[in-house]
Structures are given as C-alpha cells and as structure tokens.
Amino acid sequence: MTTHDQAADLIERYLHQVGENLPNRQREDVCRELRTLIEDSVRDRTEAGDVRGATLAADVLHGFGPPEQVAARYAGERYLIGPGLYPYFIVISQVIVIGLVALFGVFLAIHLFRESPRMFSSEMFEILWGWSGSLVKFVFINLGLLVAVLAAVERLQSGKPDTRDDWDPLKLPEVPKQKDLDRISNGSVVFEGYLILALFLLVNFATDWFGVIWFQKGELRSSHFTDFGLYLPLVMLNIWWGLAMALKIALLRVGRWNRELRWAEFALGLFGAFILYQVIEGSSGYLLTMIAKLILLATGIEAAVRFYRLCTRYAYW
C-alpha cells in the first residue's frame, strides 16, 4: 500500500467513525462535507511541502478532533435525551402511541358493539370520554418510561471517558468489508430496555392489568393469569429482568457486542429457560402450560444456536 493509499484509508476510517455517531438522515451529507474539508487540508499542506502521507493525514484528523465530538457538532443542539438518541425517541414513541391507539380502538369497538349505545347520546359521549382519558393516561405513562430509559442511557454515554487530547487517528478501526455482526442498534437496545422496565412495573405494580381482559355489564374487567393456573416465580423473574437490564446498559456502554457480552447473553438465556421450566412445573392451566412449553422449546433452540455461534465466531478461550 502506497503512502497515498494509507492516507486515504485513514481518512475513510475516520469518516466511518463519524458516520457511526450520526443519525442516518445526516450521515451521508455530513461525511461528504467533512471529506471535502479533510482532503482540502491535506492537499494544502502537501502543496506546501509536507509529504508525510499517513502521518500528515493523522495530524489533520487530530486537528479536526475525535469522531464522536465532530459528530456531536454536526448533530446540533443537545436535548434532554441527547441528539444521538432523539431520533430513537421519535420512532419508539410513534410505535408506542400507534400501538396503544390501535389496542384501545379494538377494545372500544368491542365495547360499543356489545352495549350498542344510541348515536350521539349522552351515554356514548360518556363512554368515549372515559376511554379517551384512559388512553391519554396510558400514553403518558409509557412515554414517561421511555424518556426515563433514554435519559439513563444518555447519562451513561456522557460518562464515557473524554479522549479529546489523547486520541490517535492511526488507531481507528478498519471499515468492515462485510456485515458487522457485533454492531448494535441503539434504538433496538433502548426499545428492549423500555419493554423490560414496562413489564417489570406491570407484573409487580399493576397486576390487575397483567392477565385476561374482558367486558362484563358494560365495564372493562380483567383477571390475573394466576387465576387461570399460571405459576409466576416473581423473585426469579425480577432477578432475570434486573440482569437483562444490566446487560442492555453494559451493551450501550461498550457500544458493540464482544465475547464477554455474548457469553453473558447466553447465560441469561439459560437462566430464562430455567425460569420457564419452573413456570411449567408449577402451573396447572393446560393452555398456558402448553404456551410456556412452546416458548421453552424455542428458547432451547435459540440457546443452541447462540452456543454454536459463540464457539465458532469467538474461537479463543
């Protein structure tokens, strides 16, 4: 590889790292602009007599600053949950709102069909007002949970060490030539963290809504799954949720999967399978027990696949 090729490769690695810290909608434009600025700087210094190649490119990149800080400057003003996480907040909040509206719409339609109130009657307006209030309450509760998760993630990411002065452009990782299996999607990890927290709160503090929901005499009622013979080992479930949330936090801190995190994920899957086995052994309801068995079977297959990938992809011990 010639000196010119080494410099070009270093610039490409730098731009790749900047792009990794930008939202998709900005990535291409920002990298294009940044490439022009960097190449102009390198060209100017080369024409002035500096022919150090990759070392010259490293000096120029050092002057621009670490990729994370360059991306932050282009991302604009910071928000409560940070510019890097704000797009995920928009997407996930839309999913939450649309999902809740659809769910409440289905139940409301069933309610109106069963009760058949007269159109534009006071009874109908009373039903719509009550359901609208419940919908707004649930939307705000879930958005509050999402904001709490994103704010915690922002604090964790802001706690990463500042490498502004001692970062080395020559140590930038190579641009992957194929799909990076260890790369994570912050949005997916955040959404999974939100689901873990929501399920933990639902099972522990809103048990009336963790079960089967139906209508009786015009009112929405529910029965807990335990009323149908389902056994829930709450202590082990809470431990699993805590460990799962810790794994998500560690994953966001590291920024990508590694050997240790993959093994932690595998161990967590085995613990989850053990909990499912306890659920099956302690439950008496046939239907729910069969569902738990199917989930356990899928969990076992997934664990076997993960173990194979761990042994082949991370062959060192």
- Domain regions of the chain by residue span: 1-76
pLDDT score, position 157: 64
Alpha carbon distance 153, 169 (integer Å): 27
Q: What is the pTM of this model?
A: 0.60
Mean pLDDT of 206-232: 67
For 151-186, how does the pLDDT look when each residue is reduced to its tens digit (9 = 90+)? 887 777 655 544 455 667 777 777 767 777 788 887
Distances (CA, A) of 11 to 19, 24, 34, 35: 12, 20, 10, 8
Q: Give the count of beta carbons closer than 10 Å to the beta carbon of residue 218.
A: 11
Identify the residue whose tokens are 């999967």: 257
